[in-house]
Copies of this chain bind each other. A is one copy, B any other.
Amino acid sequence: MHPMVNDDGTAKASTGPDTDSAGAAGGGKARTKSRGRPRSFDRETALEKALLAFWEHGYEATSVSDLTRVMDIGAPSLYAAFGDKRSLFEEVVRMYGTRHGSFTDRALAEEPTARAAVERALCEAATAYTEPGHPHGCLVVHAATNCSTPEVEKSLRDRRNANIAAIESRIRADVAAGVLPPATDAAALARHAGAMIQGMSQQARDGASREELEAVAEIALSVWPRTGTHTG
């Protein structure tokens, strides 16, 4: 009845037996074949379809009936495989995070300075938010604003604020390392970058092209002292 998380990290409602399951004392994923009727659809493919639907229309405006149509499965199959609508959305958000929404984290981890990381993040935002093949803008920014389910709204807001906190922490590290001047207002600079990314996402939704967003990003970047090693 209740959703659970199984060994491949995905939330499921009733996939996998409710009994002691695989590898209670064994070696993990020994069970390769389940026992009953096999699923007639590919779970990940269906999840991708759900991602596109939620990305385009948001959590509330995407009805279960919309979902079953684009995923091409019946409602009972959806509920059996993904739990309820909220669990499905949470799983969609997780997939979005790993596939489309991790460029800022990657930039913060891989670039040598905060300045270079933000430069790369803004530049990649311009690309990602206008990429063909999926809706424009950021799902985390737009899929649960004005949502009558407060928990869903909060979960996305937490992700947005966590992103800004990560930028701020990277900036503080540079200040501590002497890469940025000690008087740097790390919180404000991080919030500026976050607001910029979110504003660019809104602009992408409103029709701005990649080139236009890149021009915006370049302007926004000029507020940073040029101390990084990443030369755009």
Shortest CB–CB separation between residue A91 and chain B, in angstroms? 19
Interface residues on A, range: 35 or more
Shortest CB–CB separation between residue A72 and chain B, in angstroms? 21
Shortest CB–CB separation between residue A145 and chain B, in angstroms? 5
Shortest CB–CB separation between residue A118 and chain B, in angstroms? 12
**A206 — nearest CB in chain B belongs to which residue?**
B157
Tell me whether A161 and B198 are in contact in the complex, defined as CB-CB below 8 angstroms, given that A212-B188, A215-B188 are known contacts.
no
Instruction: Say whether chain A's binding surface is mostly helix, strand, loop, or mixed.
Output: helix
Inter-chain CA distance A142–B142, complex, in Å, is: 9
Interface centre among A148, A196, A202 (most CB of B within 10 A): A202
Tell me whether A203 and B194 are in contact in the complex, defined as CB-CB below 8 angstroms, given that A220-B223, A223-B219 are known contacts.
yes
A49 interface hit (Cβ, 8 Å): no
A residues contacting B by CB (< 8 A) are 57-61, 141-148, 157, 160-161, 185, 187-189, 191-192, 194-200, 202-203, 205-208, 212, 215-216, 218-220, 222-223
Contact (Cβ within 8 A) B202 A148: no
Rank and list the top 8 A-B pairs by shortest CB-CB distance, nearest first: A58-B146, A195-B199, A199-B199, A188-B215, A61-B148, A198-B202, A192-B219, A198-B199
Residues of B within 8 A of A203 (CB): 191, 194-195, 198
Inter-chain CA distance A198–B191, complex, in Å, is: 13
